[in-house]
Amino acid sequence: MPRTYRLNKRADSQQATRQRIEAAAIALHEEVGGAAATITAIAERAGVSRLTVYRHFPDERSLLLACTGTYLGANLPPDARQWAKIADPGVRLRVALAELYPYYRRNQGLLARADDEMPANQTLADVLTPYRDAIAAMADVLVPGWTEDHFATPVVRAAAGLAVAFSTWRTLAVEQGLSDFDAASLMLTFVHAAVGGSEAADWRPETVSA
């Protein structure tokens, strides 16, 4: 048997093993969470030894990087660059939420786990920084065009950030049971209200009578 063929077969086998480990880790993170997705549990799910897991992924960061890269590569968030081409800010927001909220619903299992675990897991938070930055950038795309009043800019930016946040969708769709359409409609109304109420930026607590 030619040596090159044997090497190729070995490389294919190693890649298949790596993919099994990644798949096992992703499934366990969604099913039981990161704390319970131990190396032992991952190895058992993947049908390999603990040593094999460590051979491919020597630490938590390398495993999380591989898993998030694989998962997000197969489940890409909507492309906010396409939204930026829409001139009307109301239409732009409506299109954005019509794409983003179904994405959240399809991927809510792992996204909810990540949302819950990031505050106590700095490694996970670091690994997901590019994803979180991408979501934040979505809000930046949605801000232009609502108003020229500079007092409103922080208000509108905050409203847009709230609209695109997974935690917002989770509250409205999961905890309150709204459909994605109704959740998006509510947030569209909310942003419109934030723009219309921009004069509230001049409000001071001391103006309110006791």
Across 79-95, average pLDDT: 95
What DSSP character marks residue 76? P
Distances (CA, A) of 113 to 38, 129, 204: 15, 15, 39
The answer to whether the beta carbons of residues 113 and 30 sit under 8 Å apart is: yes
Q: Which two tokens stand for residue 167?
A: 């935690």
The answer to whether the beta carbons of residues 71 and 110 sit under 8 Å apart is: yes
Extents of the domains making up the chain: 3-74, 80-207
In whole angstroms, what is the distance from residue 56 CA to residue 19 CA? 10
The answer to whether the beta carbons of residues 1 and 49 sit under 8 Å apart is: no
* Longest pairwise C-alpha distance within the chain: 90
Segment 80-85 long-range contacts (CB within 8 Å, at least 24 positions apart): 80/134, 80/137, 80/138, 80/141, 81/141, 83/138, 83/141, 83/142, 84/141
Q: Tell me which of 10-19, 32-41, 44-53, 110-119 is least confident.
A: 10-19
Q: Does domain 3-74 have CATH number 1.10.645.10?
A: no
Reported in sequence order, the residue ranges of 43-188 that DSSP labels E, i.e. its strands, are: none
Tell whether the model's pLDDT for residue 67 goes beyond 70: yes
Q: What is the mean pLDDT of the chain?
A: 88
**How big, in percent rounded to 5, are the helix, strand and coil portions of the chain?**
75, 0, 25
In whole angstroms, what is the distance from residue 119 CA to residue 142 CA? 27
Task: Give the residue carrying structure tokens 């040593």.
Answer: 51
What pLDDT score does 201 carry? Answer: 41
Distance of CA 187 to the CA centre of its chain: 18
Rg (CA), the chain: 22
Q: CA triplet 146, 168, 193: central angle to 5 degrees?
A: 30
Tell whether the model's pLDDT for residue 22 goes beyond 80: yes
What DSSP character marks residue 203? -
What pLDDT score does 4 carry? Answer: 54
Q: What is the pLDDT of residues 114-134, one digit of tens each?
A: 999 999 999 999 999 999 999
